[in-house]
Amino acid sequence: MSLDSLIHRRHPSNWELFLSSPLKFLARNIFALSTFRCQPILNANSVRVVCISDTHNVHNSLPPVPSSDLIIHAGDLSNSGTKEEIHATLDWLQSHPHPHKIFIAGNHDRLFDNISSRVIVEAAYPDVIYLQDSSVSIDVRGRTLNIHGSPRTPQNGSWPFQYPRISAAQVSSSDIWAKIPGNTDILITHGPPAHHLALEYGCLALLDAIWKLRPKLHVFGHIHAGRGTETINWTDGQRKYEKIAGGEGGRWDLLVLVIRTTPSLWKKRLDKGHRTVLVNAASVGGFRDEKRDYAIVIDI
């Protein structure tokens, strides 16, 4: 399957998902119930973040972008990564009044794979922060947020910013995500972690990294049909779900997932434990990217 057909594919129906694997279908829906109930607790210091990704040159036809403290673009600003395409999108991004604007490249944004071109683009947009396997700290009303961004995605074709696909057996020895600082509050990657808002195409090494880092917010895109949000609480039930989703779990794991999930369904919110909000912010969707979606707003 080509990368374009992977990214632009329609979301499979529930019936198709059930037929492909009843066990995975049940686990996915049970886990989804727990993430629906696991909502972050807001207070006066909460920071509002607008998340977008995969605008692919259609930025001017997107719904209006809400106001917020910070706007994040998680890559694929363009289709071909030309100078004209990139500048058009960054002109649009810089025009927004948000106090902080941060973006990364995606596999379509070839211009950023050239160091000299990247330096010129960054100099042209001083009000917009570009991250490429790098970090920045910003202050929002006296609160400091540490943000790391990376354009990298698993290999599929000859696109830029790609790395060899990592199997489950290779995860423990992989260093692809070793540059992410341990104090990262917001992680921006172009691709998703495995088993979360990714259909079947996320990265196992990235999932392992966020289990260790547990940032407050992880924003990504790349897989358009995976668009959505999850708020996860890093529980044993989540481990069981991921095991089943990876094809390694069985009925016992499903039973444990049910037992771990059921108590949370009777609560309005979970008040204990560290939470991470996952956002696949793909702005286009549908079988041929004909759909235009609103930016996703998150408070952390």
- pLDDT tens by residue, the chain, 300 residues: 455 555 555 566 665 765 567 778 788 888 887 775 555 556 668 999 999 999 999 999 999 999 999 999 999 999 999 999 999 999 999 999 999 999 999 999 999 999 999 999 999 999 999 999 999 999 998 899 999 999 999 998 889 999 999 999 999 999 999 999 999 999 999 999 999 999 888 999 999 999 999 999 999 999 999 999 999 989 888 999 999 988 887 887 888 888 877 655 545 444 455 789 999 999 998 888 899 999 999 999
3-state secondary structure of 162: strand
Say which CATH class 3-299 falls into: alpha beta
User: Do residues 273 and 233 lie in contact, with contact meaning Cβ atoms separated by under 8 Å?
Assistant: yes
Sequence letter at residue 246: G
User: Do residues 222 and 282 lie in contact, with contact meaning Cβ atoms separated by under 8 Å?
Assistant: yes
Helix (H) or strand (E) holding 32: helix 22-37
Residues in the chain: 300
CA separation for the pair 165, 191 (Å, rounded): 12
Would you put residue 144 in left (φ > 0), alpha (ψ -120 to 50) or beta? beta
User: Do residues 251 and 240 lie in contact, with contact meaning Cβ atoms separated by under 8 Å?
Assistant: no
Q: Phi and psi dihedrals of 166, rounded to 5?
A: -110, 125
CA separation for the pair 72, 51 (Å, rounded): 5
CA separation for the pair 275, 144 (Å, rounded): 18
**Whole-model pTM above 0.75?**
yes
